[in-house]
Structure 1
Amino acid sequence: MKDVRVTHIGGPTALIEVAGWRILTDPTFDPPGRRYSFGWGTSSRKQTGPALDPNEVGPIDAVLLSHEHHADNLDDRGRALLAGAPVVVTTRAGARRLGGTARGLRPWDDTVLDGPERRRITVTATPCRHGPPLSRPIAGPVIGFALQWGGQEHGVLWITGDTVLFPGVREVPRRLTVDTVLLHLGAVRFPITGRLHYSLTAAEAVQLCTLVQPRTIIPVHYEGWTHFSQGREAVERAFAAAPDGLGERLHWLPLRPAQSP
């Protein structure tokens, strides 16, 4: 995507620099080693730390927070960073809990990022289901984000958020043309729920990208935690076997300051 720079900091955390804006996704900056509870008998240990400390990231204009109730999407140091963010966009339930500058969206709601000497960015919330059918009361509400601004040539920048493949997320390519997708992966599983998964598997990711047909696919949120059951190798195998050269659109950003392909 022209004039867009993406830095993958770790897990779901990425810095997106576009149209004069510096936008951070799902801030996670705690060091590794700690085990976090996710409720209902589930937990996970963080195995790797971020590529950057919060003070190395620089000024942030907005935070896109898919959900605030799981520590692998918002941890203690990430929560501290929110206090200095002019705008936080998240779920309606999350906005109520966070207060302050948080804007709460339901799926397909819009909000606008507007500021002097910058292009306006429209942020559209996209559907997520963070687990199998009927899991929302346990897993909680989650949203993804589609970003649109003046001068885009090929389509939106889409951040899927933590989701499985379900009818709501299949609606995205029916409503939007996607140029670049930040794809949350990992096939999250917990021993207490067996083979049930709570984020995209590699096979589901291929199915979703076959529907969406983005020009660029950037995997995120696939490493660094014990609750991920699939990592980079599984994703690479699945996309290498995908039709229509889909695997050639897969771009792995190094976990250090870097430009998107």
Structure 2
Amino acid sequence: MGRTALLAALACGMNLGADVRAQEAAPLAAVDTFTLKLPPAAAPVAGAEGSVQFIGTATVLVRYQGFTILTDPNFLHKGDHVHLGYGLTAERLTNPAIDLDKLPPIDLVVLSHMHEDHFDKLVQEKLDKNTPIATTREAAEALKRLGFTRAIGLSTWDRLEVEKGEARLRITAVPGRHGKAGMQALLPSVMGSVFDFGPNVATPAYRMYVSGDTLIYDDLKTIPQRFPGIDLALLHLGGTRILGVFKVTMDGKDGVRLMQIVQPRRAIPIHYDDYDVFKSPLSAFASEVKAAGLDKQVTYLAHGETYTFAPAKR
């Protein structure tokens, strides 16, 4: 499908609305639980603090309780291009804070969906093919075709139980939608994710939510119902627009609405200003945050900066 055909399809929804509604009305599938056992750390984990380091785009390093997790790996440099499908490309406007070959050892990658600005050609070629990757079922199949041997496909509410020595982590896939309902068949499936650190699911040591490339829609309201007391939310912003017209990620106003829905104790914006298809700058989110009186709940990180956190007080 070329650009002209894509524009026409998006404009009319390709009569897909009924099909999408039929899918959404289908009975809920059973929740699956997967397990992943990692080798224990060579040395005891020092300290109780955790950290989130912003590398750029939607790529962050999460380190806590002996786990090192990489999200949505994108390590292209300024001037490089990614392909988004249907003949569409995007140019990177920034550099990552760390190069791919300078990363510490990674236990697990969490990939919200299969788009090149989240899993680029460099990563496809250079990332160890034996790296565990938690992602959507659709993306897991694509990763397996690329040679990745430990891609774990999750549907909404599926869980991945991760064990590393005495440390425990549960990752749950939560709702996300990369565009309006009529556009869904033209876009990859996407998931948000909740990280619950610690052995006790009812009272995790720390609860983190990563939004993924979602827009605001009703299903997001189920996240705080199932996962109250979110300590930290990482919000994919940018107001990404396909063909400069169709919004497929949250803008500043949407980011505030999501904060109001999931009610995190702290939020960090990511996925903004890095590509030319990102049309809503970080400043737009900051203005909306100030207008909503949420300034004290938001931390802004420049590329390479780190936010540190301690176990939550329940």
What TM-score do the two structures reach when normalised by structure 1? 0.91
Stretch deviating more after TM superposition (35-44 or 176-185): 35-44
Stretch deviating more after TM superposition (131-140 or 104-113): 131-140
1:21 to 67, 84, 91: 67
Are 1:108 and 2:154 an aligned pair?
A: no
Q: State the partner residue of 1:159.
A: 210
Letter in 2 for 1:182: L
User: For this pair of structures, how many residues does the alignment match?
Assistant: 254
User: What is the CA–CA distance in structure 2 between the aligned matches of 1:97 and 1:247, rounded to whole Å?
Assistant: 40
Question: What secondary structure does 2:185 align onto?
Answer: helix
User: What is the CA–CA distance in structure 1 between the aligned matches of 2:102 and 2:128, rounded to whole Å?
Assistant: 17
Query: Gaps (5+ residues) in structure 1?
Result: none
User: What is the CA–CA distance in structure 1 between the aligned matches of 2:238 and 2:278, rounded to whole Å?
Assistant: 5
Query: Gaps (5+ residues) in structure 2?
Result: 1-47, 310-314
Q: Displacement of 1:84 after TM fit?
A: 4.9
Letter in 2 for 1:213: Q
8 Å Cα contact 2:73/2:119 also seen in 1: yes
Q: Considering only aligned residues, what root-mean-square deviation do their CA atoms show, in Å?
A: 1.8
Q: Displacement of 1:93 after TM fit?
A: 1.2
Are 1:7 and 2:53 an aligned pair?
A: yes
Q: State the partner residue of 1:96.
A: 141
Are 1:246 and 2:294 an aligned pair?
A: yes
Q: Displacement of 1:153 after TM fit?
A: 6.0
Q: Displacement of 1:67 after TM fit?
A: 1.1
Question: What secondary structure does 1:108 align onto?
Answer: coil
Question: What secondary structure does 2:182 align onto?
Answer: coil
What TM-score do the two structures reach when normalised by structure 2? 0.76
Q: State the partner residue of 2:273.
A: 223
User: What is the CA–CA distance in structure 1 between the aligned matches of 2:221 and 2:298, rounded to whole Å?
Assistant: 20
Letter in 1 for 2:162: L
8 Å Cα contact 1:62/1:85 also seen in 2: no
Stretch deviating more after TM superposition (5-14 or 148-157): 148-157
Question: What secondary structure does 1:98 align onto?
Answer: helix
Q: Displacement of 1:49 after TM fit?
A: 1.6
Stretch deviating more after TM superposition (29-38 or 145-154): 145-154
**Residues 31-50 of structure 1 mapped to structure 2, 5 A cutoff:** 31-50=77-96
Deviations 1:139-159 (A, max 9, x none): 110111101122766762000
Letter in 1 for 2:172: T
Q: Displacement of 1:223 after TM fit?
A: 1.8
In our comparison, the structure showing a higher alpha carbon Rg is 2
8 Å Cα contact 1:27/1:79 also seen in 2: no
Letter in 2 for 1:107: T
Q: Displacement of 1:211 after TM fit?
A: 1.8
Residue 219 to residue 81, structure 1, CA distance change in 2 (3 Å): farther
Are 1:170 and 2:221 an aligned pair?
A: yes
Letter in 2 for 1:160: S
**Residues 182-221 of structure 1 mapped to structure 2, 5 A cutoff:** 182-191=234-243, 194=245, 196-221=246-271
